[in-house]
C-alpha cells in the first residue's frame, strides 16, 4: 500500500510558513493598534490646553518596545520575546490613551463619562509593563524559551504577582502618577485589599530569581548566545547608570526633565533586545561599547576643561566674559581629537581587544616594511597580518609578474 501523503518535512515547512505569515500580520495589526492608542492619548492630552508632556514623552519612549517586538516578529515570529514586547507596549499605550481621555474629561466636564474611573484604571498599568521587563523578558531572553522546565514555577508566580500588584493599584484610595497629573479619589477603592500588600515583596523576589536565572544562563552560554547576552548587559548597565545620574545628580537642577531622562533610558533595553534576537550587527558590540565609553569620557573631560577655562578666564578677565567663553571653546576644539585618540587607545585595550590587537599587528608589519627587502618574507608577513586581523578561512597572495 503506497503512501500518497507529501513528505513530512515539506508539509511541516509549509505549515510553519503559513503560521508565520499569520503571526506577522497579527504583529503588524497590533503595532497599528498601539500606534492608534498613543496618538489618541497624545491628541486628547494636548487638547486639554495644558499638555502633560513628561508623561506623554515617557509613554512615547516606551513605544520602542512594540516597535522592536514587531521587527522581531517579522523575522522570527515564533520567538516569544516579540509578543512580550508587544504586550508591554500595549500596556503603556493603553495607559496613555486612558489618561488622555481622563484629562480631557476633567478639562471639559461632560465630554467623557466617568473620567475619574478611566484615570484609576490607567494609572497602575505601567507597573505590569515594568515588571514584565524585569521578570518574563529576562527569563525568556534571548530565544524565547526558559533556561529549563524547572523555571516554570517562576513564570506562574511572576504572572500572579504582577496581576496582584495591578489589583492593588486599582483599588488604592487615590490615584496620582505625579508629573502634573491630578490626584483622583478612587471611586472603587477597597481597603480590605491591603492584605495583599506582601505580594510586592513576592514580586521583587521574582525579579531577583529572574536575574539569577539570567546570570546562570549567561555563564553557560558561548558563541552567538554569549554575544546576545553582552548586548543586553551593556544596555542594562547603561540604563542603570543614566537612571542613577538623572535621579540623584540632575534632578535638583532639572526637575521634570531629569525624571524624563531617567525613564526614557529604558529605551536602550528594547533596542539591545532587537539587535540581539535578530542578530543584526551582533558582532559590533565591542566596537559600540568602546565608542560609547570613549566619547562619554572625552565629553566629560572636555566639559570640565570648558567649565574650568571659563571660570579661570572670567576671573582673569572679569570685564570681558565673551573672551573667556571663546578661549575655552578654542581649547576644547583643539584638544578634542588628541584626547579622543589617547582615550580610544586605552578603551580599545580594555573593551575592544580585537581592534587593539589588529592595530598593533598592522603597525608591526608597517615597521617591518622599512627594513625588509626579501619578497618571501614580506609575503609571509602580509599573509600573517591578514590572517590575524581579518581571520579569513583561507588566505592566498597572488603577485602579477612583469608584462612582456
* pLDDT tens-digit readout, 275-287: 888 776 655 555 6
Q: What residues does each domain of the chain span? A: 16-280, 294-351, 357-390
- Angle of helix 268-278 relative to helix 223-245, nearest 10 degrees, comes to 170
Mean pLDDT on 32-53: 83
- CB neighbours of 76 closer than 8 A, spacing ≥ 6? 82, 144, 277, 278
| Under 8 Å between Cβ of 120 and 184 | yes
| Under 8 Å between Cβ of 72 and 274 | yes
Question: CA 58, CA 148: separation in Å to the nearest integer?
Answer: 35
CA dihedral sign, ordered 171, 152, 89, 61: positive
Question: CA 347, CA 17: separation in Å to the nearest integer?
Answer: 45
| Under 8 Å between Cβ of 28 and 70 | yes
Question: CA 87, CA 93: separation in Å to the nearest integer?
Answer: 10
Query: Comparing 222 with 296, which gets the higher pLDDT?
Result: 222
> Alpha helix locations (H) across 279-352?
285-316, 321-351
Question: CA 103, CA 234: separation in Å to the nearest integer?
Answer: 38
CA nearest to 176, candidates 129, 124, 131, 107: 124
Grid cell, residue 398, equals 597572488
| Under 8 Å between Cβ of 260 and 252 | no
Question: CA 385, CA 367: separation in Å to the nearest integer?
Answer: 13
- The band of 15, judged by pLDDT with boundaries at 50, 70 and 90, is very low
Question: Among 60-69, 139-148, 163-172, 194-203, which is the least confidently predicted range?
Answer: 194-203
pLDDT at residue 373, as a whole number: 59
- Angle of helix 53-61 relative to helix 80-107, nearest 10 degrees, comes to 160
Is the pLDDT at 168 greater than 70? The verdict is yes
pLDDT at residue 13, as a whole number: 42
pLDDT at residue 4, as a whole number: 42
CA nearest to 64, candidates 281, 289, 274, 279: 274
Distance of alpha carbon 86 from the chain centroid: 15
SS3 38: helix
pLDDT at residue 90, as a whole number: 94
Q: How far is CA 277 from CA 64, 142, 225, in A?
A: 15, 6, 9
pLDDT at residue 7, as a whole number: 44
pTM over 0.75: no
Is the pLDDT at 83 greater than 90? The verdict is yes
pLDDT at residue 233, as a whole number: 79
Is the pLDDT at 31 greater than 80? The verdict is yes
Is the pLDDT at 12 greater than 50? The verdict is no
Residue 391 Rama label (left phi>0; alpha psi -120 to 50; beta): left
Is the pLDDT at 261 greater than 70? The verdict is yes
pLDDT at residue 28, as a whole number: 92
Mean pLDDT on 224-246: 80
Is the pLDDT at 235 greater than 60? The verdict is yes
Mean pLDDT on 197-210: 90
Q: What is the mean pLDDT of the chain?
A: 75
The angle subtended at Cα 368 by Cα 364 and Cα 373, nearest 5°, is 160
Question: Tell me: the pLDDT tens digits for 117-126?
Answer: 998 898 889 8
E strands, 68-183, where?
174-175
Residue 180 Rama label (left phi>0; alpha psi -120 to 50; beta): left
Amino acid at each position: 500500500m503506497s503512501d500518497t501523503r507529501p513528505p513530512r518535512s515539506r508539509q511541516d515547512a509549509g505549515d510553519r510558513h503559513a503560521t508565520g505569515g499569520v503571526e506577522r500580520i497579527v504583529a503588524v495589526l497590533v503595532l497599528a493598534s498601539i500606534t492608534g492608542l498613543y496618538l489618541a492619548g497624545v491628541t486628547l492630552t494636548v487638547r486639554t490646553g495644558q499638555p502633560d508632556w513628561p508623561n506623554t514623552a515617557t509613554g512615547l519612549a516606551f513605544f520602542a518596545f512594540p516597535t522592536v517586538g514587531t521587527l522581531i516578529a517579522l523575522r522570527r515570529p515564533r520567538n516569544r520575546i516579540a509578543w512580550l514586547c508587544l504586550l508591554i507596549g500595549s500596556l503603556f499605550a493603553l495607559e496613555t490613551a486612558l489618561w488622555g481621555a481622563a484629562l480631557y474629561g476633567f478639562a471639559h466636564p461632560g465630554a467623557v463619562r466617568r473620567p475619574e474611573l478611566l484615570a484609576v484604571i490607567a494609572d497602575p498599568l505601567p507597573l505590569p509593563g515594568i515588571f514584565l521587563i524585569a521578570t518574563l523578558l529576562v527569563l525568556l531572553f534571548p530565544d524565547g524559551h526558559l533556561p529549563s522546565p524547572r523555571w516554570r514555577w517562576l513564570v506562574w508566580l511572576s504572572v500572579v504577582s504582577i496581576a496582584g500588584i495591578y489589583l492593588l493599584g486599582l483599588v488604592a484610595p487615590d490615584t496620582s502618577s505625579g508629573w502634573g497629573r491630578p490626584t483622583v479619589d478612587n471611586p472603587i477603592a477597597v481597603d480590605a485589599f491591603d492584605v495583599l500588600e506582601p505580594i510586592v515583596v513576592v514580586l521583587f523576589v521574582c525579579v531577583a530569581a529572574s536575574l539569577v536565572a539570567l546570570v546562570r544562563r549567561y555563564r553557560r552560554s558561548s558563541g552567538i548566545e554569549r554575544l546576545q547576552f553582552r548586548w543586553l548587559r551593556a544596555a542594562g548597565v547603561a540604563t542603570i547608570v543614566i537612571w542613577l545620574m538623572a535621579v540623584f545628580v540632575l534632578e535638583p537642577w532639572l526637575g521634570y526633565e531629569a525624571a524624563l531622562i531617567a525613564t526614557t533610558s529604558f529605551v536602550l533595553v528594547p533596542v539591545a533586545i532587537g539587535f540581539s534576537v535578530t542578530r543584526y550587527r551582533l558582532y559590533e558590540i565591542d566596537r559600540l561599547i568602546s565608542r560609547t565609553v570613549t566619547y562619554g569620557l572625552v565629553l566629560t573631560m572636555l566639559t570640565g576643561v570648558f567649565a574650568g577655562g571659563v571660570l579661570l578666564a572670567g576671573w582673569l578677565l572679569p570685564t570681558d566674559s565673551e573672551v573667556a567663553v571663546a578661549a575655552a571653546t578654542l581649547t576644547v576644539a583643539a584638544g578634542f581629537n588628541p584626547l579622543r585618540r589617547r582615550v580610544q587607545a586605552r578603551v580599545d585595550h580594555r573593551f575592544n581587544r580585537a581592534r587593539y590587537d589588529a592595530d598593533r599587528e598592522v603597525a608591526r608589519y608597517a615597521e617591518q616594511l622599512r627594513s625588509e627587502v626579501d619578497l618571501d618574507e614580506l609575503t609571509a608577513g602580509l599573509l600573517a597580518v591578514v590572517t590575524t586581523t581579518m581571520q579569513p578561512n583561507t588566505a592566498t597572495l597572488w603577485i602579477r609578474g612583469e608584462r612582456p
